[in-house]
A and B are shown apart, each in its own frame.
Chain A
Amino acid sequence: MGLFSKIKGVFKKEDKSVQTYEKGLSKTRRSFVNKLSDLSKEYEEINDNYFEELEELLINADIGVNTVIKFMDKLQQRVIKEKITNPSELTEIIVDELFIIYVNDDILSSKINYNENGPTVILFVGVNGVGKTTTIAKLATKFKKEGKKVLLVAADTFRAGAKEQLITWGEKIGCKVVSDDTTTDPASVVYQGLDLAVKDKYDLVLIDTAGRLQNKVNLMKELEKINNVGKKIIPDAPHETFLVIDATTGQNGITQAKAFKEITNLTGIVLTKLDGTAKGGIVLAIKEEVDVPVRYIGLGEAADDLETFDIEKYIYGLFKDMM
């Protein structure tokens, strides 16, 4: 049970990023944690009803159904083995076990895999309406603050107004945007973008792609083509491929991660819209079942409402009131 107290120890109140987490996640946390602590208050001893309510709580947080069922089995076994009878003792174990599901012996690094011999290319993929374009603008802002020269590529040639959305963001945050009104072929825009990035020595290229539902075979093939064309200019591009997922997404998040991982070399997830009431628990299942870690989380609509994901802070954010 050491982990729980360890997490607690990691944070000092002055840590600004923790405060941002707390603020963004406050709605999420309030409901989840209140219910969890209510649960331990309500029950004097651990019984079937307690487990049923706990299961409901976890499923309501959108933590995948299979993950929850496995988790509940494990928890019930621990309760029997360690002869735990008091629900309040169990709260710490729940947090520990959730942590273990996510970390699973991996060494998690949040650093961008930079290309040392030229521009680093990051491809953004995802289904429709998850917030790819906004995420790109936020990340570009972050990289610019770090002193990087950032180029944006508008390779969503499908949705009406998509190009314009990125261009408007580009003007707002002072980034050049490569777009092409004469073509509907996203690969061609990517080619032009990477070509310019090499010529003008950009540090980072962020590529915006059209939203696509993962079961649309042709659109998924288009991603392959984008990658192949990109490699003609920068052979090991893209250096990172981020799947953007909306925190309100339910079980479909797992299918999304699986399908996009099949087509692209997915290196991470950006979990957006976590400032609402959704808990984004599906990321735990995605990590467990598909093994793709979360890299960033979106906590608002402003250009700087983006944080590097840190599982310890995430769990801390969810459980703060209980500590």
Chain B
Amino acid sequence: MFESLTEKLEGAINKIKGYGKITEDNISDAMRDVRLALLEADVNYKVVKEFTNKVKEKALGEEVKKSLKPGEMFLKILKDELLSLLGNDKAELDLSKNPSIIMLVGLQGSGKTTTIGKLGNLLRKKKARKPMFIAADVYRPAAIDQLKQLGKELNIEVYDEGQTNAVTIVQNGINHAKEKGYDVVLVDTAGRLHIDEKLMDELKSINDTVKPGEIILVIDAMIGQDAINVINGFNDALPLTGTILTKMDGDTKGGVALSAKHLTGVPIKFIGTSEKLDGLDEFNPERMVSRILGNGDIMSIIEKAESVIDEKEAMSTVKKLKQGKFDLEDFLVQLKQIKKLGPLENLLKLLPGARKMGLNNISIDPKQFSKIEAIIQSMTIKERKNPDVIKASRKQRIAKGSGSTVQDVNKLLNQFEQMQKMMKMMKNGNFKMPF
């Protein structure tokens, strides 16, 4: 997402560093590029103006003049100002009620239904909640089917009454949730324009009837300057408690993230990061600023790894690695864990300096993993434990079984042999990391 903004900001920082001293001239020059980058990222025009003026003003202030390292002072100013745009604190979901009612609203196609699926999944997995869905989109053809399919996939109950009255459906759904002992209810509503009075009234009635603890506006991160009209429109009609930005995994520059909180006071709570049902991350302003400034987000990588990697299995792998007993069977387990991390491209982007290393544009074909997996799975257990026994005829059988070629099998075996050699060297202590 913020790659070009990061690039321009880094450029501005380097310019200032190069000058050694901040002057009216060189700061204006540096901020011109930043302004353009912000506008190209669809950051609201007013916010851009305010931000660039403020940074300039602070950079020309007394404190910076006295400083021996104006480059670092400038970086700190940028960091502080970005953070104040994004909101200083992480905004948590209010889950204190029983059941807690969370209603998702938004324009058509912003991704409400998909987000409901992801949020249900997240609340159950990370917050140990018992969620239920209510299908209150009574207008879009097959919207209810979509939610039902997600519910089935996640094994989460979906309450629906077909295309009847949305207010009654929500009311009955909540009673149903109470009876069944669900502690979080997620309400999917129809997409609507913020200027559609009739449909906005429907949301108001739902709000008046069931008083959801959270009303969250789902916003497509690709939205342009109209974002402010949309957020204000919904916020005027309903007491919004937060926003969720979807489709942040596109190549959008997501400028709405920088405008939304600042202009409306409504905090960002989550961002959608993939099409998979685990593609929803809690929004953390500090980490986002770190990413915008090109410093990566190691904490998110660690958290992601912790959430999917089985500790026992990881420990036994380390043990085996140390003893040099790592075989193809273990390799297969590793591969499966890596796959659970989701698209690797997303993780690479979080590394500090990812853009400079060119890691932001790498695309990894998940089929490559599947291919390796298929080859190993076509081996017998004996072959996996002791790959040396795999000779010509076995290779042919494995290739056939996995729908690949003997060359593919050879390639995998060679790579594995290399890996084992490296591990032996590590064990003997005479191995230096290549980087």
What residues make up the interface of A, taking CB atoms closer than 8 Å to B? 27, 56, 59-62, 65, 127-131, 158-165, 167-169, 172, 213-215, 217-218, 246-253, 255, 273, 275-279, 282, 301
Contacts and interface: CB of A to CB of B under 8 A. Distances in A.
Interface stretch (B236-244, B250-258, B320-328, B385-393): B250-258
Given A62-B225, A248-B224, A273-B108, A168 B142 contact: yes
Interface stretch (B34-42, B203-211, B350-358, B403-411): B34-42
Contacts of A61: 225
Interface of A is mostly: loop
| Most A CB within 10 A of own CB, among B223, B230, B253 | B223
Interface in B311-339: none
B109 A250 contact: no
B233 to A, nearest CB: 8
24 contacts: A59-B225, A65-B40, A127-B250, A128-B109, A129-B109, A130-B109, A131-B108, A160-B113, A161-B113, A161-B144, A163-B142, A213-B247, A213-B249, A215-B249, A217-B363, A218-B367, A246-B109, A246-B222, A248-B223, A248-B227, A252-B253, A253-B222, A255-B251, A273-B108
Contact of B107 (A217, A255, A276): A276
A246 B140 CA distance: 17
A62 B226 contact: yes
Contacts of A56: 45
Interface string B104-115: 000111110110
A298 B238 CA distance: 27
B354 to A, nearest CB: 15
A249 B108 contact: no
Nearest to B221: A252
Interface stretch (B124-132, B145-153, B297-305, B426-434): B145-153
Contact of B193 (A129, A275, A282): A275
A169 B42 CA distance: 34
B32 to A, nearest CB: 11
A159 to B, nearest CB: 7
Interface string B344-379: 000000000000000000010111000000000000
Contacts of B140: 165
Interface of B: 36, 39-42, 45, 107-111, 113-114, 117, 139-150, 153, 193-195, 220, 222-227, 229-230, 233, 247, 249-253, 255, 275, 363, 365-367
Given A165-B141, A213-B247, A276-B107, A282 B45 contact: no
A218 B365 contact: yes
A130 B41 CA distance: 19
B255 A250 contact: yes
A143 B347 CA distance: 46
Contacts of B147: 160-161
Contacts of B111: 128-129
Contacts of A246: 109, 220, 222
Given A213-B250, A277-B195, A278-B224, A59 B149 contact: no
A251 B48 CA distance: 15
A57 B367 CA distance: 47
Nearest to B226: A278
A129 to B, nearest CB: 3
A252 B252 contact: yes
A215 B147 CA distance: 26
A118 to B, nearest CB: 30
A276 B40 contact: no
B4 to A, nearest CB: 10
A54 to B, nearest CB: 12
Contacts of B146: 159-162, 164-165
A160 B108 contact: no
A196 to B, nearest CB: 22
Contact of A215 (B223, B225, B250): B250
A125 to B, nearest CB: 14
Contact of A164 (B142, B195, B225, B251): B142
A280 to B, nearest CB: 9
A72 B296 CA distance: 37
| Most B CB within 10 A of own CB, among A128, A250, A255 | A250
B142 A65 contact: no
Contacts of A163: 142
A215 B247 CA distance: 11
B230 A251 contact: no
Contacts of A162: 142, 146
Nearest to B153: A160
